[in-house]
Amino acid sequence: MKIKPANPKGVKDLLPREMARRNYILDKLREIFSKYAYQNIQTPAFERLDTLMGKYGEDEKLLFKILNSGEYLHDETVQTLLKSEIYDAKEITPKIATKGLRYDLTVPLARYVAQHQNDLSFPFKRFQIGAVWRADRPQKGRFQEFTQCDIDIVGSKTNLHEIEILYIINDFIQEIGLKAKVHINDRKIFDAIGQLLKLDDSQKKQISILIDKKEKISAESYSNELTEILANEKDFEDNTKFNNFIDIMNSTTIDDLIQKGIPKEATESLQFILENAPNPELIQFDLHLVRGLDYYTGTVFELKPIDINIGSIGGGGRYDDLTSLFGLERMNGIGFSFGLERIEFCLDQKEIFEFKSSNMIRIIILHLIENTKELISLRKNILENASKNLIIDIYPEKSKLDKQFQYADKNKFDYALIYGDSEQKQGKINIKNLKTFQQETLNLDDLTKFINKNI
């Protein structure tokens, strides 16, 4: 039976040239992360479900769960559940799935830190690059498997880290030549607004969703929705509440906020960060930035490209208590995650992928004689003795010359070595520059010398 070659939904294969681009981006990120003293770690692709559950809020349903292996279906409770008329996924799921694919790299980090606390020294700065999985419906810039490039600092409260992260972002986008802005806010400010206006938890939740999408909806539906959220109690106060809220949200500076009654404590860390940011052009104070992930408690930021419609290409924030869920108290964390696929998309759009063809020189040995061994040892000889960075391929079989040249052409070789029966007899070899079409005949023994000197 023939099986149709196709990927499952939402995942992609990568062609060599796509992989080359990714590596271009990843090399830059790794270099910058390392330069700022972050250490590389790795965690498994899947985690215990209890590690993952309860940390992502609404999006929890996007977790990929892994069916248990073995005889779990014979378990009595599962049998009862399966036979019962009442089908309740909430009851069955934990019986048949106890593992899940990681949803991000932050929660696994919290687990990792709690688990290995004795082997780590704090503050712990780490970077991690890896795939994460979300059972989302795919669309532009959104996949079920994608790569996050994370930096996090665990075990330090100071806002120096926010500033450091901003420096890293700045370095990176300059390095790759991308125009983007970091939107920044602090959840403490939103909480303070809530307190000031005496909003209850459900109102806060609804409003946070609303302000997050303010840019996308009309002013009219914004104020309609806002009225609806605020006006579920009958008193006249609601109207002033509405006006107060609008007034506060229109603030463009921290001073503005303080004047409107937001306590200093809520704003001072953001103030400090803004004052010390690397590049004022880069940063935008954005009161409407919320971010959905439940675990953030302080600074939040999002990196958005200018003129490219792809959403954010990175995001992060401060989470004050993530490790306490794993029994490690009073461990503050802050991190940021770059989304590899979306960065790739941006570079693609802007056509700024002129990654200098590496300084490797590509040589192909054409296959014109029966004795393959001689070609293999020719390659070995050159690789061992040449002082240049060479990539050397041997055409796999003896065949027509023009075919071999076509292969060389398509694979962008720089030089071809022509060594056939006549050269073999005379102890010569031809080296042809495939860009200039120029060809030279050398003594076989002089080949390495020639390569070192002339190419």
- Closest C-alpha to 238, from 259, 217, 223: 223
- Nearest CB to RNA, comparing residues 116 and 435: 435
Least Å from the CB of residue 292 to RNA: 1
Q: DSSP 3-state assignment of 30?
A: helix
Shortest Å distance, C-beta 136 to RNA:
5
Q: Which residues contact RNA (rule: CB under 7 A)?
A: 1-2, 4, 6-12, 58-59, 61, 104, 134, 136-143, 146, 148, 209, 212-213, 216-217, 290-293, 302-303, 309, 311-315, 337, 339, 341-342, 368, 400-403, 405-406, 408-410, 418, 420-423, 430, 432-435, 437, 439
Q: Closer to RNA by CB, 12 or 264: give it.
A: 12
Q: Residue 13 or residue 351: which is nearer to RNA going by CB? A: 13
* Least distance (Å) between residue 320 CB and RNA: 17
Residue 112 or 405: the one with the smaller Cβ distance to RNA is: 405
Number of neighbouring beta carbons within 10 Å of residue 449: 13
- Please say which residue, 75 or 91, places its beta carbon nearer to RNA: 91
Of the pair 2, 83, the CB lying nearest RNA is at 2
Given a contact cutoff of 8 angstroms between Cβ atoms, the answer to whether 152 and 126 are in contact is: yes
Nearest Cα neighbor of 388 from 365, 415, 360 is 360
Number of H helices, E strands in the chain: 17, 16
- Token pair, residue 298, equals 């302080």
Considering the complex, what minimum distance in angstroms separates the CB of residue 445 from RNA? 18
Structure tokens at 231: 């006006």
Helix 16-35 × helix 160-176 angle, to 10°: 140
- Of 9 and 48, CB closest to RNA: 9
Evaluate whether 229 touches 203 at the Cβ level (below 8 Å). Answer: yes
Alpha-carbon distance values, 31 to 111, 174, 302, 313, 343 (Å): 26, 14, 22, 19, 17
Nearer to RNA, 132 or 254 (CB): 132
Measured from the CB atom, is 261 or 396 closer to RNA? Answer: 396
The answer to whether 185 touches 49, Cβ cutoff 8 Å, is: no
Distances in whole angstroms, Cα of residue 206 to Cα of each of 183, 200, 213, 251: 21, 10, 11, 21
Q: How many angstroms separate the CA atoms of 215 and 288, rounded?
A: 9
Instruction: Tell the smallest beta-carbon distance from residue 408 to RNA (Å).
Output: 6
DSSP state, residue 2: P
Closest distance between RNA and the C-beta of residue 258, in Å?
Answer: 28
Q: Which two tokens stand for residue 413?
A: 């070789």
- CB of residue 228 to RNA, shortest distance in Å: 15
Q: What is the identity of the amino acid at 63?
A: L
Contact between 180 and 284 under an 8 Å Cβ cutoff? The reply is no
**Shortest gap between Cβ of 163 and RNA (angstroms)?**
20
| Closest distance to RNA from the beta carbon of 452 (Å) | 22
